[in-house]
Amino acid sequence: MGRAFVYVILGGGVAAGYAALEFVKKGVSHGELCIISEEPVAPYERPALSKGFLLPEAPARLPSFHTCVGANEEKLTPKWYKEHGIELVLGTRVKSADVRRKTLLTATGETISYKILIVATGARALKLEEFGVNVSDAENVCYLRDLADANRLVDVMQSCTGGNAVVIGGGYVGMECAASLVINKINVTMVFPEAHCMARLFTPKIAKYYEDYYTAKGVNFIKGTVLSSFDFDSNGKVTAVNLRDGRKLLVDMVVVGIGIRPNTSLFEGQLTMEKGGIKVNGKLQSSNSSVCAIGDVAAFPVKVSGEIRRLEHVDSARKSAKHAVSAIMDPGKTEEFDYLPFFYSRVFTLSWQFYGDNLGEVIYYGDFSGGTFGAYWVNQGHLVGSFLEGGTKDEYQAIAKATRLRPAVEDLAELEIQGLGFAVAI
Ligand code: FAD
Ligand code: NDP
């Protein structure tokens, strides 16, 4: 049993949705494109799962956040795919790939062949078991990667109102879920190994602002330690978290956000890997010219810094998808991908954006006591990174533009005096 398509997108997440829209814009013919996804729903804006989806009142639910509403583009419902002759094969895991034969084998036993494959398999959440902690499928321990996880988190949250949650991990999932738990009237303790939250991006001074804000909302921080084990009741529910420093925290629920691993296993030994992902060139093409990779799974050259990087953020998923399809459908007119790294988050009423690289000396500006503030990173005499909390649309655009241009900065004291005005004036 088998089907053949000109283009196959493997994975049905953010990158797949944006790739589909670009295929249609570039005039793909009916019957040429197929998307295969393990998830049972059409591509959606994954960032909604840790934000609007978790709100206690008027929460976001599908179909409201199918791609590509996050970039103010069309909402691609299952009907849209049908109308454009795109085959959506949902709820179907691909269990092996043969890039020499150009075939994929699904868990249902179907062979799907392609002329060009776009790998958009994203990533999976790291599990505590991988760090030697036994969870044994406890029903009140939640991860957050897909819709099924989000539905489960909502159910557990609703059964714990007024209770205690421990959030393990001080990264994006930890910070966003902690805020959502507080909004749902749950007492939160965050536990992470680093000295401060968001350690890979935030400086201690920036982190302190958010930690103080969370503390004022009632969040308790336990830093510099990790959990060592759980206590369970007779139903297999976790009742306490035991930390390596000897403390025991009584809990009603646990949320775990300890990082991800890109889903590359189908292609190990077949495609060149780098930075834990599939290595691609400036056209998002892998070491096999019939296979592209986009989104979280792709390690691509970032022109502004001259480095190969794998980014785990929605903007790079959207833009790498669009660029890959453009390179496939319009090769003559498509330049090398020129991407400026962009990360953001929204928690409570706070909202920040970051562009570029967090390398070199840090210059702060603005009001760290509750207003608009930010930071510049200056490396080897050039502005390479910019962070801004509480900016306007125009101000965010200004820091993005300034960072892309990498202007020379001769006088750090002068940059500090100019603050946000430096970027706005460029
Ligand atoms: P994904 O969106 O993960 O999609 C991968 C798809 O491939 C999934 O549908 C998966 O089921 C499917 N798949 C994998 N393997 C197979 C297989 N073998 N067979 C069939 N299908 C398969 N980024 C931001 O910049 N801002 C945010 O605010 C933000 N919030 C986030 C909130 C949450 C809760 C999460 C989990 C992530 C968030 N991100 C955010 C990150 C962002 O969502 C990802 O960078 C983005 O989804 C990556 O897109 P992708 O298409 O590469 O992977
Ligand atoms: P992150 O990589 O952001 O953070 C993981 C955190 O967990 C780090 O602080 C990490 O520390 C810590 N950690 C690692 N191992 C342990 C352990 N054994 N015990 C306790 N803490 C540990 O991953 P997340 O899980 O938060 O997010 C998953 C993915 O979702 C990421 O790709 C992220 O980009 C994406 N996402 C993005 C959002 C956004 O952009 N706004 C929002 C939500 C998710 P260390 O640094 O030392 O490893």
The response to whether residue 346 sits with its C-beta less than 6 Å from ligand 1 reads no
What is the average pLDDT across 292-302?
Answer: 98
Distance from residue 67's CA to the centre of ligand 1 (Å): 12
Residue 150's pLDDT is what? 98
Task: Report the complex ipTM.
Answer: 0.97
Please give the radius of gyration of the chain, using alpha carbons only, rounded to the nearest integer.
22
Residue 142 one-letter amino acid? C
Q: Is the CB of 70 under 6 A from ligand 2?
A: no
Rounded Cα distance, 397 and 409, in Å? 19
Q: What single DSSP character describes residue 28?
A: P
pLDDT at 171 over 80: yes
Residue 176 in contact with ligand 2 by CB distance below 6 A: yes
In this structure, the number of other CB atoms found within 10 A of the CB of residue 32 comes to: 16
DSSP-based three-state secondary structure for 223:
strand
Contacts made by residues 421-426, CB under 8 angstroms, sequence distance 24+? 422/376, 423/386, 423/395, 423/398, 423/399, 424/394, 424/395, 424/398, 426/398, 426/401, 426/402
Q: Which pLDDT value is given to residue 134?
A: 83
Which of 173, 225, 355 gets mutated to test ligand 2 (max ligand atoms within 8 A of its CB)?
173
Mean pLDDT across 345-367: 97
Cα of 21 to ligand 1 centre, how many Å? 17
In the predicted model, what is the mean pLDDT of residues 20-41?
98
Cis omega (within 30 of 0) on the bond before 34? no
Residue-wise pLDDT for 215-226, tens only, equals 999 999 999 999
Closest C-alpha residue for ligand 1 atom 36: 145
Tell me the mean pLDDT in the region 47-62: 97
Ligand 2 centroid distance, CA of 258 (Å): 4
* Centre of ligand 1 from the C-alpha of residue 409, in Å: 37
Taking the CA of residue 346 as reference, the ligand 2 atom at the shortest distance is: 41
